[in-house]
Amino acid sequence: MITREQVIEFINRQNAALVASVDEDGFPNVKAMFVPRKIEGNSFYFTTNTSSMRTQQFLRNPKASIYFYNKGRYKYEGIMLVGTMEVLQDEAIKREIWCDGDTMYYKQGVTDPDYCVLKFTAAKGRRYCALKSESFELT
């Protein structure tokens, strides 16, 4: 059984995250995003635009999933986490995960109204590796 520490270690080695939301018709919508800026407990923090379609979907329905994978030459490994996504506008968390290059996306800086933080809280997960799948809890 994979441990929480192994899950976090795997995620920290990845270059992108696939983030899934649920649209107004109940269909899943998936988008590639930068990896989480912060991981604390079972919570994963991402930055995005307040005006984005994905943010609006999370405001209507917080059910979410995030997926990370590594495709090696002979081995594929993927980890999916399911849980809920919160849209945060709190200035303290926005400042905490702000990076210098973010002004490329948010011209007004950390106080840009179009800058928000997505906080994903995992409830459970599933891992695929070496032709085997396993479900797990993050404990």
Residue 29 has pLDDT above 90, yes or no: yes
Domain covering 4-136 in this structure, CATH number: 2.30.110.10
128: which 2 tokens?
Answer: 């695929």
Contact 2, 134 (CB under 8 A): yes
Residue 82's beta-bridge partner residues? 65, 124
- Sole residue written with tokens 């891992």: 127
Residue 8 banded pLDDT, cuts 50, 70, 90: very high
Name the pTM for this structure: 0.94
Residue-wise pLDDT tens digits, 83-127: 999 999 999 999 999 999 999 999 999 999 999 999 999 999 999
